[in-house]
């Protein structure tokens, strides 16, 4: 089976002319000439990036998902390939309703009729790792049931091994192979798939995001029905809305499209800077819109997180960008450790200005974040900035927001929309507002600890903790006495030797 899968991958690669990527390496020059003669019948008129996308689609869903993840690594890929891989769509035929029911009954250990009042055997949506069915609980609540594909873990494990073998081949045959870090990319892809294979983890992600936006008019997140969830089955509230890509339908429903576009930007910055926890797969297929103009998030398999330090430095960077304070951007990169400490601030400032200055005062329709990010990564590589894993998902999400904004409102001014939010957030992190917030957060701890202080002090005085300290003091006092005696002895010896020398001089 493994050998058959490997042969299929090689066959698809040759069919779409992916051997072209091996050009430029001395080990592959003769091989490439032989393949070109033997496979003269191939039609290679399409660009290399388009052929790579078609090859991944032919190989199946896991390779499609790998291409999607790879498309976010614009720090590693040529621009044409990254743009083409971003077009990959995770469209997979559903597995049968019988298999879905078997998976549910296996997860719960009882018949389907004891779990749901009604269950739709036809899948509502299907992707590479799981698919979704509609159901009704016995208490009347409508539910969406997400079920992992049968034996998907084994398929993923085998394909990951093949991808890793392909990474080794890339390093050996391709002149630019080492710089692209293919093994690291495959490992990163494997971590994402591990997250998606545990639906309890995805349910926890959804629950956290729902709590972060509780009562928000901007974003709705389905409730998780925990008593029905397992690692292979997730049951949640059914959400009703219109896909965000159907702009004409949304307009017909009376939704304010420009307002919707601005709300998307605010949701993004709220997740990143307020919560440090964000939906990292916000493509149009995972977003609905209610008739009231509220976003509805779906599919929580891929989430990103940031530390307070990362949030702070990112906010400083964004705010400095909006104010065109490129020196502050350069300093923030150095202070955060994202670039080496010995980097010239002036040189880095000049490089950033050359990248960012041309995009200001332009609407979204005149800005390509893909090209902007590519130039930023090229600049960072010149200054030896290593890839920051925690920022890769943020980059992917920002590109999704760009695409979403283009679908909704090409005249959206991203800078003008985001700047007030960031300024408000920064004002809450420093000054008296930050002090009040910290007091509120620490007050419960103080209220618990302060009444206990007298008892804790009394216990510390009565416990035998003072004895070791007293013993150390006695040892030090003894050493001081010994030192004084030694100094007196040395002084006496010095005086005696001096007297002897004087006596010898006098006798001569």
Nearest to 57 by CA among 110, 98, 15: 15
Query: Which residue is catalytic, options 281, 299, 310, 409?
Result: 281
Question: Residues near 5 by Cβ (< 8 Å), separated by ≥ 6?
Answer: 158, 159, 162
Residue 137: what are its φ and ψ, rounded to 5°?
A: -75, 165
- For residue 281, indicate whether it is catalytic: yes
Q: Cα(159)–Cα(73) distance, rounded to whole angstroms?
A: 20
pTM of the predicted model over 0.75: no
Give the three-class secondary structure for 17: coil
Give the three-class secondary structure for 145: strand
CA 485 to each of CA 489, 491, 493, 495: distance values in angstroms, whole numbers, following the listed order: 6, 10, 12, 15
* DSSP string for 3-52: HHHHHHHHHHHHHTTGGGGGTT-TTTHHHHHHHHHHTTT----S-HHHHH
In tens digits, the chain (508 residues) has pLDDT values of 556 767 777 778 777 877 666 554 545 555 555 656 556 566 777 888 888 888 888 887 677 777 776 776 665 677 788 778 877 766 678 899 999 999 999 999 999 999 999 999 999 988 878 999 999 999 999 999 999 999 888 888 877 887 777 777 666 665 555 655 677 777 777 777 777 889 999 999 999 999 999 999 999 999 999 999 999 999 999 999 999 989 999 999 999 998 998 898 889 888 988 888 999 877 777 899 999 999 999 989 888 888 877 777 777 777 787 778 888 888 888 887 777 788 888 998 898 888 888 776 666 566 665 566 556 666 776 777 765 655 667 777 777 777 777 778 877 776 677 777 777 777 776 555 666 666 666 667 666 666 766 776 767 666 555 555 566 556 556 656 665 565 555 565 555 555 555 555 555 5
To the nearest 5 percent, what fractions of the chain are helix, strand and coil? 65, 10, 30
The first and second tokens of residue 258, run together, are: 């420009």
Buried b (16+ CB within 10 A) or exposed e, 86-98: bebebebebbeee
For residue 480, the tally of other CB atoms under 10 A from its CB is 10
Contact 255, 289 (CB under 8 A): yes
């Amino acid at each position: 089976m493994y050998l058959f899968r490997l042969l299929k991958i090689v066959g698809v690669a040759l069919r779409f002319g992916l051997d072209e990527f091996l050009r430029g390496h001395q080990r592959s020059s003769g091989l490439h000439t032989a393949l070109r003669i033997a496979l003269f019948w191939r039609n290679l008129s399409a660009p290399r990036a388009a052929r790579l996308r078609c090859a991944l689609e032919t190989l199946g869903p896991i390779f499609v998902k790998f291409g999607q993840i790879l498309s976010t690594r614009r720090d590693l890929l040529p621009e044409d390939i990254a743009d083409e891989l971003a077009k990959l769509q995770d469209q997979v035929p559903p597995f049968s309703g019988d298999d879905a029911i078997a998976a549910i009954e296996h997860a719960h250990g009882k018949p389907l009729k004891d779990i749901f009042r009604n269950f739709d055997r036809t899948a509502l949506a299907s992707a590479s790792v799981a698919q979704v069915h509609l159901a009704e609980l016995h208490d009347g609540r409508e539910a969406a049931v997400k079920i992992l594909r049968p034996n998907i873990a084994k398929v993923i494990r085998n394909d990951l091994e093949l991808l890793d073998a392909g990474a080794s081949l890339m390093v050996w045959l391709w002149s630019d192979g080492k710089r692209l870090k293919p093994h690291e990319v495959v490992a990163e892809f494997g971590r994402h798939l591990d997250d998606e294979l545990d639906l309890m983890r995805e349910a926890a992600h959804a629950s956290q995001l729902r709590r972060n936006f509780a009562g928000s008019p901007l974003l709705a997140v389905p409730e998780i029905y925990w008593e029905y969830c397992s690692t292979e089955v997730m049951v949640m509230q059914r959400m009703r809305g219109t896909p965000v890509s159907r702009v004409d339908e949304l307009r017909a429903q009376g939704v304010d499209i420009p307002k919707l576009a601005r709300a998307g930007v605010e949701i993004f910055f709220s997740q990143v800077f307020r919560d440090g926890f964000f939906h990292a797969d916000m493509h149009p297929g995972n977003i609905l819109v209610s008739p009231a103009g509220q976003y509805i998030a779906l599919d929580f398999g891929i989430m990103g997180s940031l530390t307070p330090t990362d949030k702070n430095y990112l906010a400083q960077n964004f705010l400095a960008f909006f104010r065109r304070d490129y020196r502050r951007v350069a300093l923030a990169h150095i202070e955060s450790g994202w670039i080496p400490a010995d980097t010239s601030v002036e040189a880095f400032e000049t490089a950033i200005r050359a990248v960012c200055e041309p995009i200001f005062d332009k609407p979204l329709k005149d800005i390509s974040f893909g090209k902007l990010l590519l130039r930023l990564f090229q600049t960072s590589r010149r200054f030896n900035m290593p890839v920051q894993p925690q920022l890769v998902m943020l980059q992917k999400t920002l590109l999704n927001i760009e695409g979403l904004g283009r679908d909704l409102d090409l005249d959206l001014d991203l800078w003008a929309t985001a700047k007030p939010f960031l300024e408000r957030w920064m004002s809450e992190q420093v000054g008296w507002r930050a002090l009040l917030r910290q007091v509120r957060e620490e007050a419960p701890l103080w209220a618990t600890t302060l009444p206990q202080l007298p008892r804790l002090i009394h216990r510390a005085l009565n416990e035998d903790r003072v004895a070791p300290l007293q013993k150390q003091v006695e040892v030090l006092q003894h050493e001081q006495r010994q030192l004084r005696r030694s100094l007196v002895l040395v002084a006496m010896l010095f005086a005696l030797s001096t007297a002897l020398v004087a006596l010898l001089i006098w006798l001569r």
